[in-house]
Structure formats: structure tokens, C-alpha cells
Amino acid sequence: MHNGIDKEAKSDFLFPVNLIEGNEMTGSSGAEKTFDRVKAQLKARLGSEVYSSWFGRMKLAEASKGLVRISVPTAFLRSWINSHYLELISEIWKAEDSEVLKVDIVVRTATRLAAPTEDVEKVQQRRKATRQTHTTLSTGTTANTTLERAAPSLQSAPSGDFRQNVLGSPLDARYTFQSFVEGPSNRVAFAAARAVAESAQSAVRFNPLFIHATVGLGKTHLLQAIAAESLKQNPHSRVVYLTAEYFMWRFATAIRDNNALSLKEQLRDIDLLIIDDMQFLQGKSIQHEFCHLINMLLDSAKQVVVAADRPPSELESLEPRVRSRLNGGVALEMQTPDFGMRLSMLKTRLETAKVEDPALAINEEILSHVARTVTGSGRELEGAFNQLVFRQSFEPQLNIERIDEILGHIYRSGEPKRVRIEDIQRIVARHYNVSKTELLSNRRTRTIVKPRQIAMYLAKVMTPRSLPEIGRRFGGRDHTTVLHAVRKIEDLSGADNTLAQELELLRRLITDQA
């Protein structure tokens, strides 16, 4: 079906059309208007300073069939928006347009998976060549997913819309085995992933391969590395990487457009199916399709790799038969990286960043300090690293103290919030409309005694402070006064539902604002 596509044009499938500078909008002007409203809301919510730092250069790249793509000029901006604001943007967009299922941020000039020397002009020329080739095709056209280049049989999908005919989710060129840091917390999963990517024989032993870990521990990175490596080893293999959300979207649109049959045919014809974020697969009929698909692939000894934030047995939203099929292979967990791995991850990131900016220098002491202090996931480390690079461009003399200030919010996000007695006093006083001085005074009017006793009670149950310490912090009271307050509030809240709810609300306000 793709006789008319020459070799040069085929390689253009590497470049999603909307990633190219100057080729912005492919949807309707209605979408542009929605985009304007979304931007206005972002500005109103975040303030114009934050807005112009991060969102001023956003452009609408594509909007159709439930998928919105917003482009930004740099990989750094994309990564920052993805980790800090994507949820907010999606939420605002979905509220504006309920048909939107997914919002993606892409880099305008990026050429994912392209040879690093490729320049945009060349890409545009080839893009043009491809379009011309496509217009000469008499029937349906081909798909433009990065992976389908190596999957000729997938290139004959009968959809008339070239740009929408994407079977797999795009790959991020940074996610390779070489850039993945291996260590005690992920060694087994890493070895299994390599085996799957490198050898069809071993693959059958780990089928399906199920990798699970909590957020930001490298599941997507590892899955995309499997896809990239498989294609490198065997450029003719038919590999598809999809997020579960994307799988759902593909099926939903195919059913709507009466294309479900052809989609199923395309999926049936692949060698390696990789599904990410399995916990998001929902809906009975989609799950039925999924189950059918993996049964068929597994029965014909085709490799399936799945990742989720929990083991198959805990994916409660999945139908029991899907869970049981996923349980039938090997399930491996990845855990939080240790210090050595965190340091290696930062060093790897630095090396990659230096390719773009050779002048970039962050010394070993700073990297070790960040690796020691940011103890959470790879994503937190990535966020910390991006902050460092960003700050360093206008504060070249960053020292450890300043770094702690800048990264404070990332450090804190990894540890449980510590509630302070002053925060309790401030929030309770504000809630009952009394001043903090009144709260700590000796005044015995009812309107003050009640908030005071509540604040003492919350100080006891929300902090590790002793009764005498709490007494001291409440205007020098005796510990028996605190104990009396704690018992009284406990007794009253047991019988008074309104008070119990009030306490619950205060607890939440304190935890959120502490």
C-alpha cells in the first residue's frame, strides 16, 4: 500500500509534523480560542510573572480528536511544564472542552529520535517531500509514529488523516539503556528489560514482563529504552509503545470512526507491545479489547511489556481476567534509588545537558549535596537538576546554602510535613476570628476558651510536643491545664458531630498550610 513512499520520505516518520517550528496549528480556530481562554486562566491563577516565565512561549501545535498538543521552544521548558503544570493545564482544558482526553507538551524544534546532527531545515524539506508523496497516494495514508517507521505493515492504516493516524505514543530520545542508571534498587528489572530488548529467546521466558514502581522511579524511561533498543537491534521488528491512556484514546476514536477493526488488525501484527501506566486502563469494553490483544500476542509468542504503579494483583480497576493474564509472566519491582544511584543520575544528566550547553559547570560537591538531600524519585532529582541549571544561568556563584533555599520545596515534598505549634495557633485563631494574643491570654470568655482548648488539643495530636512544652507555648500554662483541654475536646467531639467535623477541617487546613 505504501509503494509510493520512497526511503527518504519514510524516514520522515521520525518527525511528528507538529514538532517543527513554524508549523503550528492543525486544529480549528475554535481550539485556538479555547487555548486563549486556557492561557488567560493560567495567568489569572499563577500571576503574570510565573505565567510569562513558563507559558509565554507556548503555541498550540495540534488539537483534534480529543488530543491537544502544545509546543514550547526548549526541552527544558517542556520538562518543567510537564513536571509542574501539566495536570493544571489538562484540568483547565478539560473544563473548557469536555471532549479533550489528553494534553501533550512537545518541543517545537526538537526532532525526537532523529540523528543529532539533523537540522530543522532538512527536516522541513523532508517533511515537504513526505507530504507530496502522500498526496500522490490514491488510498489511505501512513502513520507517523516514531515506531512505525520500522513497522511496514502498520503503515497502511486506512485512515484518510495522515497526522491522526498514530499508533504508538511518541518516544523520548533521551530514554535509552545507556542513560538509565542501574543499581541495587532496579538491577533485576533492568536486566530483564535488556534481555527482552536484546533477545527474542529470553523474551519468551519473561512474558509478559510486568514492571512496577511508585511514581518517578524510571518505568517510562525503562520501557522506552526497551522500544528504542529493540528497534536498534532489529530495525524491521514491529514495536509499539503506548500509554494505557493513549490505548484507550486510540480505541475510543477508532470505534467512533468505525475503524476499530483495522486498528485491531494493525495491533495484531506487532512483535513487541509495550504498555505504560497500566493503572489508568479503564472501561469494560476497552479492557476486553486489551485482554483479547494480549492473549493473542502471548499465544503467538510475541513479547508484551507492561508497567504500572503497583503489582498486577493490586490493580483493582482491572477485570480479574486481565489481572490474571498480567500475573502469568514475571512481575518485578523497582525501588527508590540509593545515594550512589542518585549521584550517577545527576552526573548523567549533567553530561547530557553539556551537549547542549558546553559551558555548563556544576561541581561535584554540589551534585553530591543534591544527591544526598533529594532522596525521592528520579523525577524529583530531575526537577532539582533543572532548577540548578536554570538558576545558574543568572546566579553563577551558587553555593550550598543558596541551593538549599532554592530546592527547599523539593526537599520538603519528599518528607512528611512537620506541623508547628505556631501554625496551629495562627490557623485556629484565624478560623475562630480571635487574635493570637487573645488565644494565649488569660481571658476566660467562652469565645476564646473554646478555640484555645481546640488549639491545645490539636497541638497534642498533631505534633510530638509534650504537655509541659505545649503549656509553655500557650502563654506559660501548667501541663494539667493542657491535659484538661485535650480530654475535654476529646469527650466533646465524641458526642458532637459538628465539632468532630470542625476538628477535621482544621486538621486539613493546618496540614495544607503548614
Contacting ligand ATP (CB under 6 A), which of 378, 457, 489, 493? 378
Cα(142)–Cα(145) distance, integer angstroms:
9
Residue 340 sits in the site that holds ligand ATP (CB under 6 A): no
State the cell numbers at 428: 485556629
Cβ of residue 381: shortest distance to ligand ATP, in angstroms? 7
Give the gyration radius of the chain's Cα atoms.
Answer: 27
Does 370 sit near ligand ATP (CB under 6 A)? no
Asked if residue 494 belongs to a known ligand binding site, the reply is no
Beta carbons of 461 and 421 less than 8 angstroms apart: no
Q: Tell me the one-letter amino acid at 11.
A: S
220 labelled as ligand-binding?
yes
Q: Following DSSP, what letter does each residue of 96-116 receive, concatenated? A: H-TT--EEEEEESS--TTS-T
The residue among 278 and 419 lying less far from ligand ATP, judged by its C-beta, is 278
Task: Select the span of 100-108, 180-188, 260-268, 406-414 touching ligand ATP (CB under 6 A).
Answer: 180-188
Give the nearest residue (CB) to ligand ATP.
Answer: 378
d(CA 219, CA 213): 7
Window of 60-68, 113-121, 284-292, 378-386 that interacts with ligand ATP by CB under 6 A: 378-386
Q: Based on CB atoms, which residue is closest to ligand ATP, 83 or 511? A: 83
Based on the shown chain and the rule CB under 6 A, indicate whether residue 180 belongs to the binding site for ligand ATP.
yes
DSSP code of residue 369? H
Query: Which of 109-117, 209-217, 245-253, 280-288 is the region at the interface with ligand ATP (rule: CB under 6 A)?
Result: 209-217
Q: How many residues bind ligand ATP (CB under 6 A)?
A: 18
Site membership for ligand ATP, residue 383 (CB under 6 A): no
One-letter amino acid at 160 equals G
Task: Describe the crossing of helices 497-513 and 479-495 by its angle, rounded to 10 degrees.
Answer: 120
Pick from 27, 168, 216, 312: which binds ligand ATP (CB under 6 A)? 216
| Residue at grid coordinates 489538562 | 90
Cell output for 138 = 490514491
SS3 286: helix
Give residues 261-300 in contact with ligand ATP (rule: CB under 6 A).
Answer: 277
218 labeled part of a ligand binding site: yes
Length of the chain: 514
Q: 75-84 and 378-392 are packed helices; what angle lies between their axes, rounded to 10 degrees? A: 130
Q: Stretches 127-135, 216-224, 245-253, 361-369: which one binds ligand ATP (CB under 6 A)?
A: 216-224
* Cβ distance to ligand ATP smaller for residue 278 or 489: 278
210 lies in the binding site for ligand ATP (CB under 6 A) = no
Q: Report d(CA 36, CA 210) in Å as an integer.
A: 41
Q: Which residues contact 256 (CB under 8 A, 6 or more apart)?
A: none
Exactly one of 97, 309, 333, 469 binds ligand ATP (CB under 6 A); that residue is 309
- Which chain residues interact with ligand ATP by CB under 6 A? 179-181, 186, 213, 215-221, 277, 309, 345, 378-379, 382
Which residues carry a binding-site annotation for ATP?
216, 218-220
